[in-house]
Amino acid sequence: MKLIVTPDTLQATATAAAIIAETLSAEPASVLGLATGRTMEGVYGHLVRAVQSRETSFSEMTSFNLDEYVGLSASDPHSYRHYMQEHLFDHVRPDPARVHVPCGAAADLDAECAAYEKAIADAGGIALQLLGIGNTGHIGFNEPPSLFDTRTRVVELDDETREQNASMFGGDADAVPSRAITMGVGTILDAGRLLLLATGRVKARIIADALEGPVSPQVSASAIRLHHDVTVILDEDAASNL
Ligand code: GLP
C-alpha cells in the first residue's frame, strides 16, 4: 500500500485529482470507478479545472459510480446521480452512454444490481476505483458487516451513516433514505487499482481502524489491504491517529 499524507485538504484532493487525470492522459478510454460525498467535491473541482485548461479529457472514458440511494430518481436533487451531474459531468461532458450510476428508482432493484455488475464486466472491469470512507468504515455503502466477496446489492444504511449524511438532506437524518444500492466489497476489490481519499480529523479514528486494525468485515475499508495496488491519500488531520 502506498500512503501519501499531505499538509492540508486542498493538497490531498489535488493529489487524488492528479492521479485520475494522469490515468486519463495515459489511457483516455479508461474505465473509472467514481465516488460521492463531501470529500470528493474538491477532487471534482480540480478535475473540472483540468478539463477547462485542456490538461485532461473525460470524452472517451467510461465511469461507474459506487452507489445510489434507493427511492431517489436521477432528477432528485439529493440523488448521487444529481451530485455527479452538478460536481463533474455537467462540466466535463462525458459521453452520456458511458456514464453509469445505479438507478435507485428501479422497479426491480435486484435486476438493477445484476445489470450493474454485468455492465462493469462488459466494459472490461474498472481500472481505477476512487473511494471515500464513512464513519462506519464503509466503502461505497458497504455497512458492517460486509463480506469481502459481496457484489452490487441493496443494503440497509446504519443510523450513523444517515446522521453523517444528513447535512446533504437539510440536516434531517430521517430524510436520508434507509436503503441504498452499492457495489459490493468484492466488486471494489476487482478494480485494477484503488485510490482511497480521506480528509479531516473526523476521519482519523476510522482511518486508523481501517489501516491498522484487524482486516475484517466489521470495517469494510480494511479490505483494501488485501488489494495489490492501493494508494491512500490523507491530509494530516485524517492521518493523526496512525
Ligand atoms: C457516502 C458515500 C461513501 C463516501 C462517504 C463519505 O456515505 N456512500 O462512498 O465515502 O459518503 O462521505 P464524506 O466525504 O461526505 O465524508
Q: Which domains does the chain have, with CATH numbers?
A: 2-177+191-219 (3.40.50.1360)
What is the pLDDT at residue 52? 97
Pocket test for ligand 1, best of 133, 154, 196 (most atoms within 8 A of CB): 133
Instruction: Identify the active-site residue in 100, 138, 158, 237.
Output: 138
What is the pLDDT at residue 118? 98
Question: Does residue 67 carry a catalytic annotation?
Answer: yes
Terminal alpha carbon distance of the chain: 14
Please tell me if the CB atom of residue 152 comes closer than 6 angstroms to any atom of ligand 1.
Answer: no
What is the pLDDT at residue 40? 98
Mean pLDDT, all residues of the chain: 98
Q: Which residues of the chain have pLDDT under 70?
A: none
| Non-local CB neighbours of 103 within 8 Å, separated by 6+ positions | 68, 73, 74, 112, 181
What number does the ligand 1 atom closest to the CA of 203 have? 16
Question: Does residue 143 carry a catalytic annotation?
Answer: yes
What ipTM describes this predicted complex? 0.95
C-alpha angle 42-129-102 in degrees, rounded to nearest 5: 90
Question: Does residue 78 carry a catalytic annotation?
Answer: no
What is the pLDDT at residue 119? 98
